[in-house]
Each structure stands twice: as C-alpha cells, then as structure tokens.
Structure 1
Amino acid sequence: MFDKIIAHVKRFVPLSPKEEEILCSYLKIEEYAKKKHLLEEGEMCTGKYFVNSGVVRMYTLNEKGVEQVIHFAIEGWWITDYFTFNTNMPAKCGIQAVEPTQIIVIDAAEQEELLKELPQMERYFRLVLEKAYAASLMRTHYMFNFSAEERYRHFSEHYPEFVQRVPQYLVASYLGFTPEFLSMLRAKKG
C-alpha cells in the first residue's frame, strides 16, 4: 500500500524497517475520481500529497476566468499548495485529479510530530523541494527564452508520459498557449 512512497523516501534518506512503520503510521490514502478536487481555490490546504497512482494538476484562474495550469504531478511526485500550507491563508489555486488518482497524504497538523520522530524526513522534504524548485526555475527559463514550438518540443521529449496521459488542452495551458495552437503544432509535426 505504501511501497511507492517508502521507495521514494529511501532514494533520498535511509529508513530502517521500524522507521518505515513509523512513517506509515502518519500516512493516509485518499482516492479521487477524474476531475475531483483535492483542493479548491479558497480552501485551506491541510496536507502534502504524494501521487501513488494517477495524474493531478495545480491550476489558477487568470483575470479573464480562464484556467492556467501551473503544475502537473504523476506517480512518485509530490504536490501541494505551499502558500496556503505554510501561511494558513486560503488557497489561490486548485488541485484536481486529471484521471482516477490515489493520493498518499501527510496531514499538516501531524507533520511536525513526524519530523520530530524521524528527523531524516526533514532532509528528505528539503531535497525533494530543492528538486521541485530547480524544475520550476527551468520551466520559467523555458517560458521566457523558448518559442512556443520549442517549449512543446522540449516538453514532449522530456515528459512523454504527460503528453500521452493529459488532455491536450491542459498541456497547452501549462505551456502557455491555446489548444488551437497546439493542434496546429501537432499537425505540423506529423
């Protein structure tokens, strides 16, 4: 049940069998149907979400009320709204299942207790967050320095699982262009 998250943690920090049990005691599993929200704008984010199976997206609404995808997560990736998680202010974005999804949750209220019991988890979360931040910086670099076609080509080469599993209108939103433009790019490629 928790094999994927245990394996993920052990890629970054050691865990004894007893520590694995302790970690598992802080975890809970939640199931989400396609298009079901883990978090909606205005709610409080009360957990960190590890994608055990499925795909989720984080998005916000722009000034015209159009959804803008900020982030995707697939199996073995974490997703949370760190703004609301750390400030206790209402979420400014939503997190939604793109396909039927199973999430492993670490509750915000219990996180400090977990970190006291398993101090190496502090290192784990720091390393995971550093990797995520580096990826976010690279995405920003691509958004400012690559043409739309280059962004799509880079994304489809480096993240083919998203291109195959995520609806094209969401890929277009994430890459900063319209679904029609993406259709044109795909037709041009083929």
Structure 2
Amino acid sequence: MERLFEHINKFSEVSEEDLKLIESVVSKKVIQKKDHLLTTGHKCHHKYFILSGCMRSYFVNKKGAEQIVNFGIENWWMTDYDSFVNESISHINIQALENCEVLRLSKSDFDDIVSISPALNNYFRVILEKRHIADQRRIQYMFNMSGEEIFDHFNNSNPDFVQRIPQYMLASYLGFTPEFLSKIRKKKAETGS
C-alpha cells in the first residue's frame, strides 16, 4: 500500500483521511505470468495499480495479429478506459508479462472516492492527463519520425521496458514488424550507437 500512497502524494496533496479512503476500497491481487486480468468480450470493472511486474494491453486485429496498445510497469495504472468508463464490452485484453501484484479498484468504488475526495479526484485526473499526453505523443511520433527515430526515442525514454519486453511485443507497440525492429537493432549494434 505504501507504493500507492507515495504515488498519490507525488501528484496530489492528500490527507490521512484520503489515504484511508482509498485503502478501504482497493484489494490486492496476484497474477501469474501470461494470465489475463481482462479479455475481449467482457466488461472492465477495475483499474489496476501495478505494485510489481509488467503487463500489456492489446487487441487482435482483423489479420489475427496482436496489436499492443500499452505496457505497464510498477507504479502505473492499467485498465481499458473505454470499457471502464462507458461500462461497455471490452475489445482489449490485459495480460501479465511477468508475475504481477496489483491493487484493484472497482468502478463503483472509484466513482465514490472521486466524488468524496477532491484530492483523490485531482490525483486520478492528473494520471489520466499524463496517460493521454503519452498516447498523443506516441501517435505524433509514429507519423513524424522514422522507424529508427521512434526506436531511439522509446529506448532512451523507457530503458527498463526494452529489457523486460519480448522484441516482437515491442515491435507491435512501436508499429513495426519484428524483422524491421531486428534490422534497427542490428544496425545499431554494428555502428555502436
């Protein structure tokens, strides 16, 4: 719970009552590597705060290929925002890439705490804004940068991910084929960059 409290305090001025409030509504869950928290066709009823491990959200496209939407590591929230907010059927899967421990927060409890606590409401607003900014930048990079520039930017901004995520998943997230990513890595190894 301390990890979540530290994260909240980083983005919002919260009281002891605020922390007790969120502590009263989250529950700890352990997920084994390769297990899913959410699968396509089900409703997403929770947000998940990652205490340990690495996760991904993805969908399967019309060609049957997995397309990575996002990754999450320690101190990140994972959910299918569309399904969670709109209480609709999910088109996203959320899967553990490593053994994970998460805190889960239900939709009804989330709605309650953000209506009760302005500080927690502010915290979740800031987190959502940061996620939206990251997604917006990713889209801009995909349209404005070369494949090598995209890889360099991602590698420099997220060195932990590159070591923890299989190459084919990283390629999917960056919008590459695994072969293209392999060529970029080979070229970088040859040039020492």
- TM-score norm. by structure 1 comes to 0.96
Q: Report what 2:102 is aligned to.
A: 103
Residue 167 (structure 1) aligned with residue 166 (structure 2): yes
How far the C-alpha of 1:109 sits from its partner, in A, is: 1.9
* Structure 1: distance between partners of 2:114 and 2:127: 15
Assess if the C-alpha contact under 8 Å between 2:18 and 2:120 holds in 1: no
Q: How does 1:77-92 map to 2 (within 5 A)?
A: 77-92=76-91
Please give the per-residue CA displacement for 1:87-123, whole angstroms capped at 9, x wherever unaligned.
1211011011111111111111222222233221111
Q: How does 1:150-165 map to 2 (within 5 A)?
A: 150-165=149-164
Match in the other structure for 2:131: 132
What residue is the counterpart of 2:55 in the other structure? 56
Deviation at 1:183, TM superposition (A): 1.4
Q: Deviations over 1:117-153 (max 9, x none)?
A: 3221111111111111011110000111111111111
Task: Name the CA distance, whole Å, in 2 between partners of 1:116 and 1:152.
Answer: 41
Letter in 1 for 2:131: A
Say whether 1:7 aligns with 2:6: yes
Quote how far apart the aligned CAs of 1:164 are: 0.6
Shift of the alpha carbon at 1:182? Answer: 1.2
Percent of pairs with identical residues: 41
Give the TM-score, by structure 2 length.
0.94
State the 1:12 CA deviation. Answer: 1.4
Gaps of 5+ in 2: none
Amino acid corresponding to residue 94 of structure 2 in structure 1: I
2:133 is paired with a residue whose SS is helix
Structure 1: gaps (5+ residues): none
**Paired AA for residue 13 in structure 2:** P
Of stretches 161-170 and 111-120 in structure 1, the one that deviates more from structure 2 is 111-120
> Aligned-pair distance for 1:20?
1.7
CA distance in 1, matches of 2:128, 2:102: 18
